[in-house]
Amino acid sequence: MNDRIQELDVFLRVADASSFSAAARGLDCSPSTVSKRIQRLEDRLRVRLFHRTSRVLGLTLEGEKFLAAAHRVIEAIDEAEEGLGQSGCEASGVLRINCPLLLAQHQLSPLIPEFLQRHPAMRLEFVLSSAPLEPVENQIDVSFQSGSIPDSSMVARRIASTRWGLCAAPSYLARQGTPRTLDDLRHHNCLNFLPGAFPNHWPLRDGAELAAHEPKGNIGSNSSELLRSFAVAGVGIARLSDMHIDSDIRAGRLVRVLEAFRPGTEAPLYVVYAGRRNLSLRVKAFLDFVVEKFATPPLADQAVSSTTLPVT
């Protein structure tokens, strides 16, 4: 790639991320190197492409015009390379992934060794949080999210879904009895999410209607994993995703309760990334891998659901 094409690539990355540091991370170089290349491009074109302030980096009018032309040039190069059946480049650099701890532990960690074998020049950084982080501010390349995706500038690709149900340890049910009706839940210790951390009402089917049950109990948390641990320890009844508790159900650590009242609705899981063209090779490689792997879950999981995953 000659200097002028390199400058276009750097320009597109900076325009996409609105950040010199984020572009530098993707290019595996220093922010000062990115800044110098943009300055050299501006000097050659004799126009300012970016407005620069201490808090904001945005395109000028000339930058907006140049952006469209730069996209066409890079797309033409990409098409030519794809026509030969190879990109000519290896995916490399740092990829920052935002997702909940539960998903990282149970779904992603078994897959990552194979991904790194395929792409040994890449480094993955996991930024774990219960709620999605702002991508530009936190330099996030890819995130896993559930529910609605409010940022219309991002692409949200649905890769899986999950159902939620009630569960408890055999030791708890032996002490407190097994609930048979929705009214029985009033006499049980319900382990629930904190307000604002996740929807903390329990939608349960009451005949043909869905009833929003308000659980009461002596433990609340913003972590699914912690609620699961308390449920396994026999503290109370929890509402968790199927895939989260599947291994516990098989091992007998937990049993499902009030299955007749569980609604059939599913919660989607999305992989979310910047919605602009010319995705970096490292992002594209990870997206292709995730879509491939989540489309064919392990055989042990297919007995539960062919496309189910925990989402928090």
Give pTM, 2 decimals: 0.59
Q: Tell me, what's the pLDDT at 64?
A: 86
Q: What is the CATH number of domain 164-261?
A: 3.40.190.10
Instruction: Note whether 99 and 112 are within 8 A (CB).
Output: no
Domain 3-83, CATH: 1.10.10.10
Per CATH, 93-162+267-302 and 164-261 having the same topology is answered yes
Q: What is the mean pLDDT of each run of 10 residues along the chain (312 residues)?
A: 77 84 82 89 89 80 86 74 56 91 86 95 91 83 79 77 91 96 93 80 83 89 90 96 85 95 84 74 92 66 32 38
Are 42 and 49 in contact by the 8 Å Cβ rule? The answer is yes
Q: What is residue 236's predicted lDDT score, i.e. its pLDDT?
A: 97
What pLDDT score was predicted for residue 152? 59
Domain 93-162+267-302 part of CATH 3.40.50.1780: no
Q: What angle do CA 218, 235, 198 make, to 5 degrees?
A: 60
Q: Are 198 and 222 in contact (CB under 8 A)?
A: yes
- Closest C-alpha among 219, 201, 196, 198 to residue 211: 201
Spatial neighbors of 284 by CB under 8 A, at least 6 apart, are: 91
pLDDT for residue 179: 95
Q: Which of 273, 283, 276 is nearest to 15 (CA)?
A: 276
Specify the pLDDT at position 147. Answer: 66
User: Which pLDDT belongs to residue 165?
Assistant: 92
- Domain ranges (residues) in the chain: 3-83, 93-162+267-302, 164-261
